[in-house]
Structure 1
Amino acid sequence: MFDNLTDRLSGTLKKLKGQGRLTESNIKETLREVRMALLEADVALPVVTDFIEKVRQGAVGQEVQKSLNPGQALVKIVQAELIKVMGEANEALNLKTNPPAVVLMAGLQGAGKTTTVAKLGRFLKEKEKKKVGVVSADVYRPAAIKQLETLAHDVDLVFFPSDASENPVDIVNRAIDAAKRQFVDVLIVDTAGRLHIDDEMMDEIKALHAAVKPIETLFVVDSMTGQDAANTAKAFHDALPLTGVILTKADGDARGGAALSIRYITGKPIKFIGVGEKTDALEPFHPDRIASRILGMGDMLSLIEEIEQKADKKKADKLARKIQKGKSFDLNDLRDQLLQMQKMGGMGALMDKLPGMNEVPKDMRDKVDDKHLARQIAVINSMTAKERKYPDLIKGNRKRRIAAGCGQELQDVNRILKQHKMMQKMMKKFSKGNMANMMRGMKGNMRGMRR
């Protein structure tokens, strides 16, 4: 996420030399490069111009603390301005009304609106402990109604049926009445999208908004459309009283222009950010955390929250007790670790939140392919229960049988066995309580896995 902008900004800010004080002359070239980095990231020109001027005003004449060099001092100023541009702090949904709280979702076709309805429903159900219902008012695409029904079933939301022959206002009013009878806390309404903004679309959604009076009206926008996302959001905001924005497909956005432009242009907060295709891949938008990611500082708070929410604590405790008792780390344990990583979005999602990942060469980062996780799990699943428990049994013929059973090459089987050996050695050091040994072992394992 935002890889190009991260690489450019962190590289530019590191070059700043000088001492004691930030001056017009020693930051001029750096600010010019920051400006180019933002424009390349498809940030809207008015945003870039205002951003650079505010950084310049904040930097010029500032004394550099002894603990910082000029580059680090400017990073602090840039980080503060990034946070301001994106909205200071996360703004939660306002659901304080007599239930059901109606949340209207608007946006263009292809932005991922229907999927985002399911993601938001799951988020509110699991994190806010709400009973959530969903309804589709998209009478132009019967497939959208069916898609929402399938997604609602998958994440256990209350689905209120609708038909393409009905009027959108009638559909939603009937769903609200049904939601009251079923004691639903939140009703999320999926509306029709178009391939572009048109008067007919706007008139229809204005009429729907006036009839159902939602407490939240959220604009769902594809982050990969860059500053166009901000311009589209403004057009919707001019027609509807938007309360916030949900930015989708941020995991595929290497630039970051939409995230940096929307709040400035619309005045409305980004409330959530979509970071993957699965229904759990929706995060509250925290400007301070995103600013840290953009500057290559990682996002440890989000990473810790994700581990706490998605990691299987019982399995982790069971493995810890097993290792402490001196028992061997077997291939069942390795499979559990790989499944946990897959559950948390794979290596790519975890790396995005780790500090200093921009220091890792881009060609190495590009080699991280989460399909490898699925292949590794398939190799272990192709083994017998006895082989998983006693990996030393796996020799020539067994290796060939395992490779054939999962459709992989012999070298894939050898690679997973080598990885297991490394992990096993590391766990032995851990069981002896020698943290220094364990850290040395981890470094050695990382080198070994890159070969």
Structure 2
Amino acid sequence: HAFDKAQKGGFTIVILDTAGRSQLDDTLMDELQAITRRVQPAEILLVVDAMIGQEAVNIAKGFKENIDLSGLILTKMDGDARGGAAISIRSVTGVPIKFLGTGEALDALETYDPSRLSSRILGMGDMLGLIERAEANLDEEVARKQAEKMMAGDFTLEDFAEQLRQVRKMGPIGQLLEMLPGGMGQMARSVSPQDAEQQLKMTEAIVNSMTVKERRNPDILNASRRRRIATGSGTQVQDVNRLMKQFRDMQRIFKTMKKSGKRGLPRMFGM
């Protein structure tokens, strides 16, 4: 009925989503073959859970033997499995991988790129994917203004809070850490995604518990104010102090950038 309605309505794309199966059975195959004969789809995509390893290969092989698959979608690529199953599935079935699922949101479906997946499998990160995600989710005007403030050495806690909100838009912190390359990625991945997410939430809570005046002028944060902020954010005074130290360190870096310009950047990082 849905297919007939789509034809009458003049829709150019119709997606038929059949019931998922973790195991093969004759009833499922008969149903899929009947649907294929009825609608004659241009594409038949099999969605495979990358977390189930070799079983995913077996399922894909079984489907290929019964249905003329045109492509694969690997899901849960944001999990612990880095996608070794992808190579096996492609080799065994000969069916191309077309998309990777890295989360629950609509924008967490990305076009498959073999070079980028191999980098993830080898722990080399995916900077291109990170850049694409930033371009898709970050406000370009906000990012430009913040960059100008950084270079001018005029970075406040309000700007810091806005940065946290921008990072949130890009997706779960665990996914972002996985995309970082080389030593930077190894260092980031030494912290569990859960701990990183918890730290980010705590930082947001602390900053949000400050008044606008305090965010714009952190110098006024005396012991009394810090106790109030800790109570309001459900944290300890030590957590507030630690955040302020990190913020001061960031400010010093930005001021050094302002004084040194681009020529001073290599010296700042020991290059």
Residues 294, 255 of structure 1: CA spacing in aligned structure 2 closer, same or farther, 3 A cutoff?
closer
Secondary structure in 2 aligned to 1:271?
strand
Cα distance per residue 1:100-140 (max 9 Å; x no partner): xxxxxxxxxxxxxxxxxxxxxxxxxxxxxxxxxxxxxxxxx
Residue pair 1:230, 1:262 contacting (<8 A) in 2 also: yes
Tell me which residue corresponds to 1:344: 170
Shift of 1:442: 6.0
**Does 2:203 match 1:376?**
yes
One-letter amino acid matched to 1:411: Q
Going from structure 1 to structure 2, the CA distance change for 1:375 and 1:441 (only over 3 Å counts) comes to farther
Read off the aligned partner of 2:245 and give its amino acid letter: K
**Distance (Å, rounded) in 2 between the aligned partners of 1:361 and 1:327:** 27
1:177 maps to what in 2? 8
Distance in 1, Cα, partners of 2:77 & 2:45: 17
1:129-171, CA deviations, whole angstroms, 9 ceiling, x for partnerless residues? xxxxxxxxxxxxxxxxxxxxxxxxxxxxxxxxxxxxxxxxx23
Following TM superposition, by how much is the alpha carbon of 1:358 offset from its aligned partner in structure 2, in angstroms?
Answer: 8.4
- Taking only the aligned residue pairs, the percentage that are identical comes to 46
Distance 2:223 2:41 in 1: 65
1:197 aligned to 2:24?
yes
For 2:219 and 2:128, the matched residues in 1 are separated by: 40
Task: State the shift of 1:439 in Å.
Answer: 5.0
Change over 3 Å in CA distance of 1:437–1:246 after alignment to 2: same
Q: Which runs of 5+ in 2 are unaligned?
A: none
Label 1:377 to 1:317 Cα distance change in 2 as closer, same or farther (>3 A): same
Find the partner of 2:222 among 384, 387, 395.
Answer: 395
Matched, 1:434 2:265: no
Contact 1:176–1:187, Cα closer than 8 Å, also in 2: no
When normalised by structure 2's length, the TM-score is: 0.88
Indicate the SS of the match to 1:187. Answer: coil
* Residue in structure 2 matching 1:275, options 102, 112, 123: 102
2:248 maps to what in 1? 421
Q: Once the 2 structures are TM-superposed, how far is the Cα of residue 266 of structure 1 from its aligned partner?
A: 0.9
Go from structure 1 to structure 2 and tell me whether the alpha carbon gap of 1:358 and 1:291 turns closer, same or farther (over 3 Å shift).
Answer: farther
**Per-residue deviation at 1:264?**
0.7
* 2:147 matched residue in structure 1: 320
Amino acid at match of 2:170: M
Distance in 1 (CA, whole Å) between partners of 2:203 and 2:185 is 27
The equivalences for 1:11-50 within 5 A come to none
Alignment counterpart, residue 291 of structure 1, candidates 118, 127, 144: 118
For structure 1, the residue ranges without an aligned partner over 5 or more in a row are 1-169, 444-451
Q: Which residue of 2 aligns with 1:161?
A: none
Q: Which residue identity is paired with 2:3? A: V
How far does the alpha carbon of each residue in 1:389-443 deviate from its partner, in whole angstroms, 9 at most, with x for none? 1111222222122222222222222222122111111121222353354455568
| TM superposition score normalised by structure 1 | 0.55
Query: Which deviates further from its counterpart, 400-409 or 431-440?
Result: 431-440
Structure 2: how far apart are the matches of 1:373 and 1:187?
Answer: 40
Kindly indicate whether the alpha-carbon contact (under 8 Å) linking 1:227 and 1:257 is maintained by their aligned counterparts in 2: no
Count of aligned positions? 269
Aligned-partner Cα distance in 1 for 2:70–2:233: 50
Decide which of 55, 60, 79 is 1:252's aligned counterpart: 79
TM-aligned CA deviation for residue 189 of structure 1:
2.1
Relative contact order, higher structure (CA 8 A, sep 6+):
1
- Give 3-state SS (helix, strand or coil) of 2:16's partner: strand
Q: Deviations over 1:237-276 (max 9, x none)?
A: 2222111000000111335331121111111011111122
Q: For residues 412 and 172 of structure 1, what CA distance do their matches in structure 2 show?
A: 57
Q: How does 1:19-168 map to 2 (within 5 A)?
A: none
- The answer on whether the counterparts of 2:137 and 2:169 sit within 8 Å (CA) in structure 1 is yes
> 1:329 is matched with which residue: 140, 155, 172?
155
Residue type of the alignment partner of 1:376: T
Residue equivalent to 1:59: none
Contact kept, 8 Å, 2:49 with 2:74, in 1: the verdict is: yes
Offset of residue 198 of structure 1: 1.7
Q: Which has the higher helix share?
A: 2
Letter in 2 for 1:375: M
> Which amino acid counterpart does residue 97 of structure 2 have in structure 1?
I
What is the CA–CA distance in structure 1 between the aligned matches of 2:61 and 2:110, rounded to whole Å? Answer: 23
Alpha carbons 1:299, 1:353 under 8 Å: kept: yes
CA contact (8 A) 2:153 2:251 kept: no
Matched residue, 1:354: 180
CA contact (8 A) 1:342 1:373 kept: no
Report the aligned-residue RMSD.
2.5
Letter in 2 for 1:349: Q
- Structure 1 residues 255 and 290 mapped into 2: Cα distance closer, same or farther (>3 Å)? closer
For the Cα contact (< 8 Å) 1:347–1:370, is it kept in 2?
Answer: yes
Using a 3 Å threshold, how does the CA distance of structure 1 residues 187 and 400 change in structure 2: closer, same or farther?
farther
2-side partners of 1:189 and 1:418: how far apart? 54
